[in-house]
Structure 1
Amino acid sequence: MSESNRDLLNLTYPFRETLKPGAPLFRNVRNHIIASNEIALRAAKKQAEAGGFFAEIIEAGMQGEAREVGRRLAERLKETVRIRPRPFCLLAGGETTVTLRGDGQGGRNQELVLGAVETLRGMQDILLLSIATDGEDGPTDAAGALATGESAQRAESLGMAAADYLSRNDAYSFFAKLDDLIKPGPSGTNVNDLVFLFAF
């Protein structure tokens, strides 16, 4: 038996020292990334292009308070509509956070979209959707939600105001009443979240 293999057999957990790169234990270890948010974004971009959209990844590693990210992305969509011919699809990926202020139901993707509703108000032929790639957004059966330029007005016709639901972290109830939740079921894979901003 080689000396390095003998050394490996003598190792006990916990190791006396943190293993360093190049340690014999790692000699036959290979790491391959087979799924990531970046890979998912590139695949989504390719699919959008195949569907006839100009597609651009505008943000990878998306972070921050979900409602604020939603507003910011909706503003980006507004700006892009003014300067780019349609149809197009902007994509963002990462994982936001939610600061709980109320006792509502939802997840970070639903709250991101709810945060965008007022900014999108009145825009024509647009769609913003945000989904958890594992198919489960927060403690709900939805992966996320979608909003259009008509979402705020549709909600008001049902006696709902986006700001009220946002103040209670109750995005699930808001989008359930609009029938705008996305419910594909569990995917078995989690590579964070994807946001799509379409102009048709």
Structure 2
Amino acid sequence: RCGATINEINAVRKHISRLKGGNLARLAHPAQVVSLILSDVVGSPLDVIASGPTVPDTTTFQEAHGVLEKYGLLDEVPASIVERLRAGMEGKIEETPKEGDQIFERVYNLVVGDNAIAAQAAVAKAQELGLNALLLSTYVEGEAREVAKVFAALGKEIARYGRPLARPACLVAGGETTVTIRGKGKGGRNQELALSAALAIQGWEGVYIVGLATDGTDGPTDAAGAIATGSTVARARELDLDAEAYLADNDSYHFFQALGDLIVTGPTNTNVNDLIFVFVF
């Protein structure tokens, strides 16, 4: 709810856990350890995925405390957490294991699935379906409603000038945006991205922007994401739905539910971040 990135959240997690931040490897030492890793983190940094239980930690107690301080959470989290982080900063608690520690000499980490693999598969499928497809990036981060404007601009560029791809076009991107909650509505980062995109592309015929969570669950909802088109806002207006008001209230779920434009897949049991698509026909 505060807008912290997953990397920042994990910095805290690793310093209040007995297993995260390389501590599982510490407990298993001197046994050989092989980790098969499914990445749900942008860029697949091994020390961040699942908070890196078998990987040297690159963060410190000082940085973990700094995250809580940055977002004004020192008085919001349980006092025991703040006390532990401060004890670590003072050297009263052992730091998480770092690069070069002998406990990692017999540890092997292998990423078996991540966002890049999913995005590349999406491009291949789009090409198989006869679309001109391009993978833009698997490092998409930032405030969902602002990131949406960039993808809207790309859709307009294709529609107007045929670049970077000619129609029928499919741009693919991956990563994970964040939402700073200011309203009282219901939604997820992908649905919020789609709602913001709908406002940006209103009136642009043939432009579609889709955001979805690969685990099938976008935020605290039963939807994976939503579909925005150039006619979304106009269709909503016919139902007396004010797109800007819904966005201001972080209520993207109920907005797209009313239009029938939610993407509902059910849980996929595999989380490799989010995928964003820009289609232009």
TM-score per shorter chain, which class?
0.7 to 0.9
**Structure 2 residues without counterparts, runs of 5 or longer:** 1-28, 32-92
- Distance change (3 Å), C-alpha of 1:24 and 1:105: closer
Q: Which amino acid in structure 2 is aligned with residue 33 of structure 1? A: V
Classify the secondary structure of the residue corresponding to 1:196.
strand
1:83-162 aligned at under 5 Å gives the runs: 83-84=161-162, 85-162=166-243
* Identical counterparts, % of pairs: 47
Classify the secondary structure of the residue corresponding to 1:154.
helix
Q: Report whether the alignment pairs 1:8 with 2:24.
A: no
Deviations 1:12-47 (A, max 9, x none): xx99993644837533x3322111111111110111
Query: What is the distance in 2 between the residues matched to 1:8 and 1:59?
Result: 39
- Distance change (3 Å), C-alpha of 1:120 and 1:16: closer
Classify the secondary structure of the residue corresponding to 1:197.
strand
Query: What is the distance in 1 between the residues matched to 2:243 and 2:94?
Result: 54
Farther-moved stretch of structure 1 (116-125 vs 103-112): 116-125
Contact 2:158–2:280 (CA<8 Å) still a contact in 1? no
Query: What is the distance in 1 between the residues matched to 2:135 and 2:221?
Result: 28
1:26 corresponds to: 105
Q: Please give the TM-score of this superposition, normalised by the length of structure 1.
A: 0.88
Deviations 1:44-65 (A, max 9, x none): 0111111101111122210111
Determine which of 183, 197, 200 is the counterpart of 2:278: 197
Q: Report whether the alignment pairs 1:188 with 2:275.
A: no
Classify the secondary structure of the residue corresponding to 2:127.
helix
What's the RMSD between the two structures over aligned residues?
Answer: 2.1
Deviations 1:76-105 (A, max 9, x none): 110122222210100111000101111000
**Structure 1 residues without counterparts, runs of 5 or longer:** 1-6
Query: What is the distance in 1 between the residues matched to 2:255 and 2:240?
Result: 11
Deviation for aligned residue 1:134 = 0.5
Query: What is the distance in 1 between the residues matched to 2:95 and 2:242?
Result: 60
Query: What is the distance in 2 between the residues matched to 1:197 and 1:170?
Result: 22
Q: What is the total number of aligned residue pairs between the two structures?
A: 189
Q: Report whether the alignment pairs 1:170 with 2:251.
A: yes
User: Taking CA–CA contacts closer than 8 Å with sequence separation of 6 or more, which of the two structures ends up with the larger relative contact order?
Assistant: 1
Query: What is the distance in 2 between the residues matched to 1:184 and 1:17?
Result: 39
